[in-house]
Amino acid sequence: MSDVDVAANLKAVTDEIAAAAEQVDRASDAVTLVAVSKTHDADHIRPALDAGHRVFGENRVQEAQGKWPSLKDDFNAVELHLIGPLQTNKADDAVALFDIIETVDRPKLIRALVKAIDKIGRRPGCFIQVNTGEEEQKAGCLPDDTDALVAQAREAGLEVLGLMCIPPLDEEPSLHFALLADLAKRNGLNQLSMGMSGDYETAVTFGATHVRVGTAIFGTRPKPVA
């Protein structure tokens, strides 16, 4: 048994979100907590479900396929977010399992998702991932390409809900949160997925509608994941 109290951590993070929202006169229920359960096994995730939490994030399709179908059998109304890079050859599997795909970042993936949606008969909502730090190794479209990619995704028939970003580790995240909020606004998008364990309160003050929090809820991950 792990000595991490997942239910207590969930409550603490939820309270912090509410406090941050209040600071900027936002309603606390305007922020969805995506509990990032990557690398954790079903037994470590279950206490969060028992506590009534229903929104989770995973970053690998195959790993999620291993644990979520049976958890979804045991608990109703689970909403699963894909928050890791998606390869086009996994588009069918992703569309079959996930409710929201947060990492749409290139035309080829848009085409693969449209095809998968037709084939599988499910239509997950999507976020366009923006590489706000223009980091070489990081997924996401460049800020300058965001407008075109949003337009393309919409034209192709994806349900584009908002934008997502992962700021560079060694930079002040606020600038990135502000940039993402700007890009969303000018594209008529009102959902922003930004903020992780280290900076979710800041993200909420910059308008995050979704924060993706793993470590602060489930504790340190068993193995490092990129």
Ligand X SMILES: *Cc1c(COP(=O)(O)O)cnc(C)c1O
Continuous segment of H or E residues that includes residue 62 = helix 61-74
Using DSSP's 3-state secondary structure scheme, residue 80 falls into strand
Say if residue 197 is exposed, middle or buried (CB neighbours under 10 Å; 0-12, 13-18, 19+).
middle
Q: Which is nearer to ligand X, 26 or 210 (CB)?
A: 210
Residue 51 contacts residue 44 (beta carbons within 8 Å): no
Instruction: Specify the stretch interacting with ligand X by CB under 6 A; choose among 9-17, 62-70, 104-112, 207-215.
Output: 207-215
Region for residue 167 given its phi and psi (left: phi exceeds 0; alpha: psi -120 to 50; beta: otherwise)? beta
Instruction: Give yes or no for residue 13 binding ligand X (CB under 6 A).
Output: no
Instruction: Give yes or no for residue 9 binding ligand X (CB under 6 A).
Output: no
Amino acid of residue 101: I
Stretch 59-98 residues interacting with ligand X (CB under 6 A)? 59, 83-84
Instruction: Give the residue at shortest CB distance from ligand X.
Output: 214
CA-to-CA distance for 176 and 108, rounded, in angstroms? 25
Continuous segment of H or E residues that includes residue 71 = helix 61-74
Stretch 23-62 residues interacting with ligand X (CB under 6 A)? 36, 38, 59
Region for residue 134 given its phi and psi (left: phi exceeds 0; alpha: psi -120 to 50; beta: otherwise)? left
Instruction: Give yes or no for residue 149 binding ligand X (CB under 6 A).
Output: no
* Residues in a beta bridge with 125: 100, 159
Min CB(219)–ligand X separation in Å: 9
Query: Which residue among 165, 166, 181, 184 contacts ligand X (CB under 6 A)?
Result: 166
Continuous segment of H or E residues that includes residue 129 = strand 125-129
Min CB(13)–ligand X separation in Å: 9
Query: Which residue among 14, 28, 205, 215 contacts ligand X (CB under 6 A)?
Result: 215
Min CB(103)–ligand X separation in Å: 8
Listed residue (203, 157, 223, 197) closest to 13, CA to CA: 197
- Total binding residues toward ligand X, as defined by CB under 6 A: 14
Min CB(226)–ligand X separation in Å: 8
Residue 215 tokens read as: 């470590």
Q: Which is nearer to ligand X, 143 or 214 (CB)?
A: 214
Instruction: Specify the stretch interacting with ligand X by CB under 6 A; choose among 6-14, 90-98, 119-127, 194-202.
Output: 194-202
Using DSSP's 3-state secondary structure scheme, residue 49 falls into helix
Instruction: Give yes or no for residue 205 binding ligand X (CB under 6 A).
Output: no
Instruction: Give me the residues that bind ligand X (CB under 6 A), please.
Output: 36, 38, 59, 83-84, 166, 196-198, 212-216
